[in-house]
Chains A and B, each alone.
Chain A
Amino acid sequence: MHIVQAIVFLVVFVAAVYLFARKARQIRRNILLGRDVDLTDHPGQRWRNLLLLALGQKKMFRKPLVAVLHFFVYAGFIIINLEILEIVLDGLLAKHRLFSPILGGLYPWLISAFEVLAVLVIIGCAVFLIRRNVLHIRRFRGHDLDGWPRSDANYILITEIVLMTLFLTMNTADQVLQIRHYGHYAATGPFLVSGHLMPIFNPLSSWLLVLIERGAWWLHILGVLAFLNYLPYSKHLHILLSFPNSYYGDLNPKGKMENMPAVQHEVQLMMDPSLAANAPAGDGPPPKFGAKDIFDLTWKNLLDAYSCTECGRCTAACPANITGKKLSPRKIMMDTRDRAEAVGKIIDQHGGFQDDGKSLLRDYISEEELRACTTCNACVQECPVSINPLHIITQLRRHLVMEESSAPAEWNAMFSNIENNMAPWKFSPDDRDAWVNG
Chain B
Amino acid sequence: MQIKTMAEYAASGETPEVLFWVGCAGSFDQRAQKITRAFASILDRLSIPFAILGKEESCTGDPARRAGNEFLFQMMAYNNIQVLNGYGVKKIVTACPHCFNTLKNEYPQLGGNYEVVHHATYLQQLMDAGRIKMKEAGSFKGKKITYHDSCYLGRANDIYEAPRQVLQLLDAELVEMKRCRSNGLCCGAGGAQMFKEEEKGSTRINFERGAAAVGTGASVIAANCPFCMTMLTDGVKEQGKEDSVKVLDIAELIAQDMA
Q: Residues of A at under 8 Å CB distance from B? A: 62, 252-257, 259-260, 263-264, 266-268, 270-271, 289-290, 317, 319-320, 322-327, 368, 371-378, 380-381, 394, 397-402, 407-408, 410-411, 413-415, 418-419, 422-425, 427, 429-436, 438
Asked whether A435 and B59 contact (CB < 8 A) given A374-B193, A418-B72, the answer is no
A257 CB contacts on chain B under 8 angstroms: 65-66, 106
Fill in one digit per residue for B159-203: 1 if any A CB lies within 8 Å of its CB, else 0: 000000000000000000000001111101111111111111111
The 3 lowest CB-CB distance pairs between A and B, nearest first, are: A255-B156, A324-B202, A375-B191
Asked whether A401 and B24 contact (CB < 8 A) given A267-B74, A430-B55, the answer is no
CA distance A430 to B56 in the complex (A): 9
In the assembled complex, the CB of B210 is this many whole angstroms from the nearest CB of chain A, namely: 12
Question: Does B140 make an interface contact (CB < 8 A)?
Answer: no
Q: Are B28 and A432 in contact (CB under 8 A)?
A: yes
- In the complex, the chain B residue whose C-beta lies closest to that of A370 is B68
Question: Does B146 make an interface contact (CB < 8 A)?
Answer: no
Fill in one digit per residue for B50-61: 1 if any A CB lies within 8 Å of its CB, else 0: 001011011101
Asked whether A378 and B155 contact (CB < 8 A) given A419-B72, A423-B27, A424-B24, the answer is yes
Question: Does B15 make an interface contact (CB < 8 A)?
Answer: no
CA distance A422 to B203 in the complex (A): 32
Q: Are B191 and A374 in contact (CB under 8 A)?
A: yes
A398 CB contacts on chain B under 8 angstroms: 68, 70
B24 CB contacts on chain A under 8 angstroms: 422-425
Asked whether A266 and B157 contact (CB < 8 A) given A257-B66, A323-B202, A418-B61, the answer is no
CA distance A62 to B179 in the complex (A): 13
B29 CB contacts on chain A under 8 angstroms: 425
A-B contacts, 27 of them at CB < 8 A, read: A255-B152, A255-B155, A259-B110, A263-B71, A268-B78, A319-B185, A320-B201, A322-B205, A325-B201, A374-B189, A375-B66, A376-B186, A378-B185, A378-B186, A380-B155, A411-B195, A418-B76, A422-B24, A422-B59, A424-B194, A425-B24, A430-B55, A432-B54, A432-B57, A434-B27, A435-B33, A436-B3
A375 CB contacts on chain B under 8 angstroms: 66, 151, 190-191
Chain B interfacial residues counted at CB < 8 A: 73
A374 CB contacts on chain B under 8 angstroms: 151, 186, 188-191, 193, 205
A252 CB contacts on chain B under 8 angstroms: 105
Question: Does B236 make an interface contact (CB < 8 A)?
Answer: no
Question: Does B26 make an interface contact (CB < 8 A)?
Answer: yes
Fill in one digit per residue for B108-121: 1 if any A CB lies within 8 Å of its CB, else 0: 01100000000000
Most buried by A among B74, B183, B188: B74
A62 CB contacts on chain B under 8 angstroms: 183
A394 CB contacts on chain B under 8 angstroms: 66, 68
Q: A324-B201, A397-B66, A436-B1 are in contact. List 20 more A-B contacts (CB 8 A).
A: A255-B105, A259-B106, A263-B74, A266-B74, A267-B74, A320-B201, A323-B201, A324-B202, A371-B199, A374-B205, A375-B191, A377-B156, A378-B186, A399-B68, A402-B70, A408-B196, A411-B67, A425-B28, A433-B55, A435-B27
In the assembled complex, the CB of A424 is this many whole angstroms from the nearest CB of chain B, namely: 5
Q: Are A322 and B105 in contact (CB under 8 A)?
A: no
Most buried by A among B36, B78, B195: B195
Q: Are A254 and B191 in contact (CB under 8 A)?
A: no
Q: Which of B196-232 contact A (CB under 8 A)?
A: 196-205, 207-209
- In the complex, the chain A residue whose C-beta lies closest to that of B74 is A267
CA distance A431 to B151 in the complex (A): 29
Q: Are B27 and A407 in contact (CB under 8 A)?
A: no
In the assembled complex, the CB of A142 is this many whole angstroms from the nearest CB of chain B, namely: 14
In the assembled complex, the CB of B113 is this many whole angstroms from the nearest CB of chain A, namely: 14
Most buried by B among A320, A400, A430, A432: A432
Asked whether A254 and B155 contact (CB < 8 A) given A319-B186, A408-B196, the answer is yes
Question: Does B22 make an interface contact (CB < 8 A)?
Answer: yes
A425 CB contacts on chain B under 8 angstroms: 24, 28-29
A368 CB contacts on chain B under 8 angstroms: 199-200
Question: Does B75 make an interface contact (CB < 8 A)?
Answer: yes
Question: Does B69 make an interface contact (CB < 8 A)?
Answer: yes
B55 CB contacts on chain A under 8 angstroms: 429-430, 432-433
Say whether chain A's binding surface is mostly helix, strand, loop, or mixed. Answer: helix
A327 CB contacts on chain B under 8 angstroms: 199
Question: Does B5 make an interface contact (CB < 8 A)?
Answer: yes
B158 CB contacts on chain A under 8 angstroms: 253
B200 CB contacts on chain A under 8 angstroms: 324-326, 368
Q: Are B63 and A418 in contact (CB under 8 A)?
A: yes
B61 CB contacts on chain A under 8 angstroms: 418
B134 CB contacts on chain A under 8 angstroms: none
B26 CB contacts on chain A under 8 angstroms: 435
- In the complex, the chain B residue whose C-beta lies closest to that of A431 is B28
CA distance A259 to B78 in the complex (A): 13
CA distance A431 to B24 in the complex (A): 11
CA distance A266 to B24 in the complex (A): 26
A324 CB contacts on chain B under 8 angstroms: 200-203
A432 CB contacts on chain B under 8 angstroms: 22, 27-28, 54-55, 57
Q: Are A271 and B78 in contact (CB under 8 A)?
A: yes
Question: Does B64 make an interface contact (CB < 8 A)?
Answer: yes
In the assembled complex, the CB of B231 is this many whole angstroms from the nearest CB of chain A, namely: 10
CA distance A263 to B182 in the complex (A): 33
Q: Are B155 and A376 in contact (CB under 8 A)?
A: yes
Question: Does B143 make an interface contact (CB < 8 A)?
Answer: no
CA distance A39 to B105 in the complex (A): 18
- In the complex, the chain A residue whose C-beta lies closest to that of B185 is A319
CA distance A436 to B190 in the complex (A): 27
Most buried by B among A267, A270, A319, A371: A319
Q: Are B196 and A266 in contact (CB under 8 A)?
A: no
Question: Does B101 make an interface contact (CB < 8 A)?
Answer: yes
Q: Which of B12-61 contact A (CB under 8 A)?
A: 22, 24, 26-29, 33, 36-37, 40, 52, 54-55, 57-59, 61
Most buried by A among B67, B74, B208: B67
